[in-house]
Chain A
């Protein structure tokens, strides 16, 4: 193992250059892995948010209102795995309390089912969600909407819709931590149908399941002929946007890693040039082309390996640090959200892939200098001083 003996000594003897090469590769890997972790985290967060803010299955009729929804609702209730079903109707509204007003979406639902499907029971800042059930005068506000008009449980408010206005009492304030808080007001289904003057119609049907939603959705489509979208499908359509951007990211990452690896190749080329006479000496002692090549490939591999270790440690530290950063939202931002944290998720698979890719790239870049060293005719190498 002459190559390890000599290669190691070269690296130690030129420790400054070794260190710089390791730092360069490590920095490249660290930055790339952290970016990948941030994308992962963002995608994870997006999936989580979509899961929280969407029903397990959303049933619609090609953008049309559903007139005979009661039949569908009872059909859907029969499908195994379904735990809760509510038709809903949405429309625009402006809500006013004293001199303040704000626009939001009005959603009419059967509160019991809606609460179960979205898990609202544990997300009430004030009052209760099911208080609106069967009532024509009660309203639950998203916390952001409530904040805009400084409304609390017990306050009297006026809701104006295209179909007319109505005096209501706030009986609940919903705080989910998501965009729902800023966008929705909830009333009983019949009340909203009445206010919007749409008769007996629903915009769609929210469905909750106790099992994986996909097979249930298939059943629902088969039995009703309506369209379905599971929360996962909803998340995917968002994720597709990210993936388009990721293609650019990969090009960018490859460039960073290529620059770092080329740095190693440069260090190697300089080493080979400064060691010409020694290479001649080694050959006079019987070292083969393969021996000489192995020495320099070993050096390249070691630089890449230590660079990978450093890069991975750096990435772990960076992702930890990023997750500790707390961003305080601006004063007039969404209420109740105290801090926003960036999510970064470093996976073993990504770490292995990026490190492996870099080690291979570095080896590929080291082949040329190593080959140049190996092919030096001994007499010529010995002539150099």
Chain B
């Protein structure tokens, strides 16, 4: 039963076998409802990034299943997986999210161009989104001309560009100071409330994690109660 959930995993396992064998995920069971804002916490090396990569269709599980929007991701070929990432998922990573040769607006245009949108329409939507994240006066700036926090906000705008049903953030507050982290996190939160998108955010700041609808805690590749 995976209908009704935005994301669901069943006995999800991931084993890395390059050199030594590392079992990063050992039977993860979780279900996230549409519109939920979920934080994922856990010690370093507990498998948080690995889990997000599975949920976002960036990597394939060793065992078990991942359902996104009711679709078993492991049944998709590379092309359909790419299409899923393009249409249903928006990623925000910890650092270096943006393509350095492109302006803030162009970076937000790229997922739309990948999905075949016209340049003019993509640029309009990019301007809208950047305005929503408070960067209307930084449209033509390159990543190196923006602060760390501004870079992350551009990345969030870009993650929303194709109106994905799920937004995934792997420590999206980056290595910013507490105040900036707070603002980025709040932005995530507000967008989730306004658009009804499902949000899954990894953070190591407990205080931020507590503000989510629900907190999933990982230890040693397994979900534990908090």
Residues of A participating in the B interface, judged by any CB pair closer than 8 Å: 1-2, 5-6, 9-10, 12-13, 277-278, 281-289, 291, 377-379, 382, 385
Chain A residues, CB < 8 A from B85:
283-286
Q: Which residues of B contact A285 (CB under 8 A)?
A: 85-86, 91, 110-111, 114, 158
Residues of B within 8 A of A (CB): 53, 56, 58-59, 78-79, 82-87, 91, 93, 95-102, 110-111, 113-115, 119, 158, 162
Distance in Å: Cβ of A280 to nearest Cβ of chain B: 8
Whether A282 contacts B110 by the Cβ 8 Å rule is: yes
User: Do B115 and A385 touch across chains, with their CB atoms under 8 A apart?
Assistant: no
Q: Which A residue's beta carbon lies closest to that of B90? A: A285
Write out the residue numbers on chain A whose beta carbons fall within 8 Å of the beta carbon of B59.
377-379
* Shortest beta-carbon distance from B122 to chain A in Å: 10
Which residue in chain B gives the minimum CB-CB distance to A292?
Answer: B82
A288 lies within 8 A of B97 (CB): no
**Is A286's CB under 8 angstroms from B83's CB?**
yes
CB-CB < 8 A to A9: which residues of B?
101-102
Q: A281-B98, A285-B111 are in contact. List 11 more A-B contacts (CB 8 A).
A: A13-B101, A278-B99, A284-B91, A285-B110, A286-B85, A286-B86, A286-B87, A286-B115, A287-B86, A288-B78, A291-B114
> Which A residues touch B82, using CB under 8 A?
283, 286-289
Contacts of B110 in A (CB 8 A): 2, 5-6, 282, 285
Q: Is the CB of B96 within 8 A of A379?
A: no
Complex CA gap A283/B91 in Å reads 11
* CB < 8 Å A-B pair total: 69
The residues of A that contact B102 with a CB separation of less than 8 Å are: 9
In the complex, chain A residues whose CB is within 8 Å of the CB of B96: 277, 281, 385
Q: Compute how far the CA of A2 lies from the CA of B117 in the bound complex, rounded to whole angstroms.
A: 10
Q: Give 8 pairs: A residue, B residue, CB < 8 Å, sorted on A.
A: A12-B101, A284-B56, A286-B83, A286-B115, A288-B78, A378-B59, A379-B53, A382-B58
| Complex alpha-carbon distance, A1 and B114, angstroms | 8
A286-B87, A378-B58, A379-B59 are known contacts. Are A281 and B113 too (CB-CB below 8 A)? no
Q: Are A281 and B78 in contact (CB under 8 A)?
A: no
Q: In this complex, what residue of B is CB-closest to A2? A: B113
Q: Is the CB of B115 within 8 A of A289?
A: no
CB-CB < 8 A to B53: which residues of A? 379
Determine the chain B residues whose CB is within 8 A of the CB of A288 once the complex forms. Answer: 78-79, 82-83
